[in-house]
Amino acid sequence: MKLFSLYFSVYATAVCGQSVYEADWKSYKMKHNKIYSKGEDDVRNAIFLARDKQLKLHNSQGHSYQLEHNKFSDLSHEELTRYLGLNASLAPSARFLQSFNVQFENRALPTSLYYHNDTCMPPVKDQGGCGSCWAFAAVAPLEFAQCKNKTKSVVLLSEQQLVDCVQIAGSCTGGWYTDAWDYLIAAKGSAKQSFYPYTGVQGTCKYCPGCACMIGAKVFTYGYVPSNNATAMQIALQKYGPLAVAIAAVNPFFSYSSGVYTDTTCDKADLNHGVVVVGWGILSRVKYWIVRNSWGPGWGLKGYILIQRGVNKCKMELYPAYVVPAS
């Protein structure tokens, strides 16, 4: 009788456990509108369950940040890389960076700065499965600066123009944000998103430099902030607005939910993603940057992530850059 009870208990636990996993998988697919054939469903489910195990283990260990399921939870590593797009081979040399010998005057710095709530901050956009993060990292600071310095209201600009028209290692295969600004200077304008909407696929360049109604902003100049200098980044943020930066995004980054991101594996990884720093603050005595991503408002903290500040976390303090719109 005892043996039968033990068998029944183990069997029931296994069946119930399996049903819970199946329910979680069905709920996940419904929430993210994912429909697969039977064969692919099995593969995706296996990826999801492995990630589910990783997330639960991480969240039980008392880290400074939490992870959650999102649209990436059933994607393979190869598929995840399509949502990046920074080409690290285009990073400026040390000699080139020295040519930007910008001196930032000392000034009193507040304990926090929150541009993400500013009326000039445009809504978070979604690059989709096109490696165009570099274009989004270039456009957001320009949109903000144009609003602050000229229009006083947000004019959405076109990332698709950059994907289609930047010839030096641009498109969905990767690029670099200051190359985008170089192009916009040469092209004499950044098109409005309404005239040149985002498709997430490289196409023929449709920009018309002679069509004044198409142009939403122009780039006057840009510059790099000194590397590994968090104070200089703060001063530049106050002076110029949001900064484009390069980071090394690794697996936990894709599943970020809340808290201050302090992952250590990214510190030794290669740069592969472009994002935008929009402020700073302190949470539970941990200093952080507020970083805007290009994976839509459903990722992270409504499209944002808090990343540890002042320690070159994920190498994000190596290549901060600002842009100045033409007056």
* Per-residue pLDDT tens over the stretch 64-78: 999 999 999 999 999
pLDDT at position 8 is: 37
pLDDT at position 327 is: 85
Q: How confident is the model at residue 228 (pLDDT cuts 50, 70, 90)?
A: very high
CB 284 within 8 A of CB 64: yes
Across all residues in the chain, what is the average pLDDT? 92
Instruction: Find the DSSP H helices in 147-246.
Output: 159-165, 177-187, 230-240
Which of 100-104, 199-203, 230-234, 235-239 bottoms out in mean pLDDT, i.e. has the lowest? 100-104
Q: Which residue has the higher pLDDT, 106 or 205?
A: 205
First to last CA, the chain: 86
CB 300 within 8 A of CB 293: yes
pLDDT tens digits along 14-34: 445 556 788 999 999 999 999
Pairwise CA distance, residues 107 & 162, whole Å: 35
Please name which of 295, 306, 301, 245 lies closest in space to residue 124, comparing C-alpha atoms. 295
Pairwise CA distance, residues 288 & 192, whole Å: 32
pLDDT tens digits along 246-275: 999 999 999 999 999 999 999 999 999 999
Q: Please state the rounded mean pLDDT for residues 167-177.
A: 85
Measured CA to CA in angstroms, residue 194 lies from 165, 198, 227, 293 at distances of 17, 9, 36, 21
Please name which of 225, 282, 247, 255 lies closest in space to residue 290, comparing C-alpha atoms. 282
Please identify every residue annotated as catalytic. 133, 273, 293
Q: What is the pTM of this model?
A: 0.92
pLDDT at position 19 is: 65
